[in-house]
Amino acid sequence: MDNQPSIFGDDPEPIPDALEISVFREVIEFRESHALFAQLRDEVEWKQETIKMFGNEINIPRLTAWYGDPERSYTYSGIALKPLAWTPLLSELREEIERIAECEFNSVLLNLYRNGNDGVSWHADDEPDLGREPVIGSVSLGASRRFDFRKKSDHKSKYSVVLNSGDVVVMRGITQNLWEHQIPKQPKIHERRINLTFRFIQEP
């Protein structure tokens, strides 16, 4: 991205009634986003995590990686993650997403969805490590996938948006306290997608 014009778009697309959630379209140009996808696919230390369900260990339906500042460990769904050191590319992306989110991040969770059979079920990023009102800066690269929101108190209250390569979502305020989100499985999709969710982990 050296010697390139700003990769950020202009105005965010607000999500109706979804509190402080904004979608920034085409933040990263299409051609550049696919180049970033390829570099992350090859450079990131991807791992297949498992979770326990009904006494059995099963593979979660995606590959993941956790990078961040020293001592910024993170635990979700019983999975304990210790940070790998920032790569030059991830550090550069962090600076860009900090600019658009207007806050600091000290870690990033990466997900590699190998095809539409990979996904992540309903959840909120509300772990204590993230603080009471976390800001999440989420970057999409690769295949377009649906991103769903629903209210915790009323599962009939839902909103969906398709995220394309180069789009950025910023969630802030009490969003994680009141809303859940998911990447549903879409078996007809055969292409891969990488998602980076930048976060700020509180002091241990």
- Return the pLDDT at 8: 36
Contact 35, 1 (CB under 8 A): no
Average per-residue pLDDT in the chain?
A: 89
Q: What is the pLDDT of residue 204?
A: 67
Q: What share of the chain is helix, strand, coil (3-state, %, to 5)?
A: 15, 35, 45
Mean pLDDT of 179-184: 95
Q: pTM value?
A: 0.89
Q: How many CA atoms lie within 13 A of 35 on its CB side?
A: 7
Distances, alpha carbon 57 to alpha carbons 54, 60, 61, in Å: 8, 9, 13
* Calpha distance 146→183 (Å, rounded): 6
CB 198 within 8 A of CB 97: yes
Which carries the bigger pLDDT value, residue 105 or residue 14? 105
Across the range 166-195, mean pLDDT stands at 95
What dihedral angle (degrees, nearest 10) is formed by the CA atoms of 91, 171, 169, 74? 40
139-157 pLDDT, tens digit each? 999 999 999 999 999 999 8
Buried b (16+ CB within 10 A) or exposed e, 175-203: bbeebbbbbebbeebeebbbbbbbbbbee
Mean pLDDT in residue range 104-121: 97
Share of residues in the chain with pLDDT > 70 (%): 90
- So what CATH class is 13-46+61-199? mainly beta
Sequence spans of domains, the chain: 13-46+61-199
